[in-house]
Amino acid sequence: MLQNKRIILGVSGGIAAYKSAALASKLTQAGAQVKVVMTEEAKKFITPLTFQALTRERVYDDTFEEAEPDKVSHIDVADWADMIIIAPATANIIGKAANGIADDMLSTILLASLCPIYIAPAMNVNMYQHPAVLENMNVLKTRGCQFIEPGEGYLACGWIGKGRMTEPEDIIHYIETSVKKKSPFQGKKVLVTAGPTYEYVDPVRVFTNPSSGKMGFAVAAEASKMGADVTLITGPVHLESPSNVKRVDVISAQDMYDSVMEQYEQSDIVIKAAAVSDYRPIHVDSRKEKKQEGDVTIPMERTMDILAELGKRKENQLLVGFAAESHNLIEYALDKMDKKNLDIVVANNITSENAGFRSDTNQVLLIKRDQEPVELPLASKKSIAKEILAQLETLL
């Protein structure tokens, strides 16, 4: 269950940090990619070099150490992860997480992350039973964090009681059991479209748009991780296929229409993130046309409106459309929702900085029927994809 999972292992400052080395090793052996994040106090018990050797990954311990100038490390790592495990979790890191304190690499990543968080406490029995610690744990539980209960027995401080960190193999068993729990997307057939289309004028000239496909690919990847059976229909892009996703490559709007309609009837959810050409040349020359003096007029015709056709044929499917606009964002998005019978519209202003086509980030409004729009601030397309699926989950 942990094969290819991207896991942050947060190690805070307690004697149980020595167990985290075994946990990092077992996670890596299970096929997971593991990045270790250490607090300064954790390094007093075990060295970063130990974890680097076990995971063959860089260890993160300094919020302000930016090894890659084009990335903000704590945001990049938070976006990368499928889950976070804090083991051992001291009373200190639990308190920071509960109260939104971000004063080191680990606590900052926790504040920036949207993925599931597993916490394995380790501390003295009296600390574990202190009202402040219990209150902080309850706060985190209400936010969705999952606690892996400590064991009882002889503690390093000499006391006997509850507070000993769960053994690494038991932590892994707990997480695998949790991952196996049925998600609303489990077994659902999800159809995603991505990228641009090419409408050829002749063998070397095309009408197209700047879509990179990154948003659609992010949605397909996240849906697959949530247990969905995902088919990704993509126009011409230069992106690697997400894991466990069936990919269908197409060229033109007509190709995409044909492929989508072939899959639509058996689909439960359709997320149409592709930027499909609205027009195509009426005549396509089989030979390259030579340059001429003066202007050229190319007669165009409308392509099939895929989303409108899906809306007409919709039975029990959930249908998500994208509205890339330069102005009147909400007005046009609501109009699209009504005309095309959509359940959710993802609207974004393509003139916004670092959002829209070709960017690694996006800033969108999520609009559902009879509800106020949900505004998502600038974030990675992976994060936006997770939020889109979270909104779909409420409809499922």
- Is residue 154 over pLDDT 70? no
Write the class of the CATH domain 189-395.
Answer: alpha beta
Amino acid in the structure at residue 173: H
- Is residue 198 over pLDDT 70? yes
Can you give the pTM of this predicted structure? 0.64
Active-site annotation holds for 145: no
Check whether 170 is labelled as a binding-site residue. no
- Is residue 33 over pLDDT 80? yes
pLDDT value for 218 = 94
Chain centroid to CA 266: 25
- The CATH 3.40.50.1950 domain(s) of the chain lie at 6-180
- Is residue 235 over pLDDT 90? yes
Check whether 189 is labelled as a binding-site residue. no
- The CATH 3.40.50.10300 domain(s) of the chain lie at 189-395
- Is residue 84 over pLDDT 90? yes
- Is residue 110 over pLDDT 90? yes
Residues 195/365, Cβ–Cβ less than 8 Å: no
Check whether 181 is labelled as a binding-site residue. no
Question: Which is catalytic among the residues 15, 157, 300, 350?
Answer: 157
pLDDT value for 119 = 96
pLDDT value for 155 = 65
Phi, psi torsion values for 163, nearest 5 degrees: 155, -5
Check whether 322 is labelled as a binding-site residue. yes
For domain 6-180, say whether CATH 3.40.50.1950 is its number: yes
pLDDT value for 311 = 96
Check whether 336 is labelled as a binding-site residue. yes
pLDDT tier for residue 181 given thresholds of 50, 70 and 90:
low
Q: 124-140 burial, b for 16+ CB within 10 Å, e for fewer?
A: bbebbeeeebeebbeeb
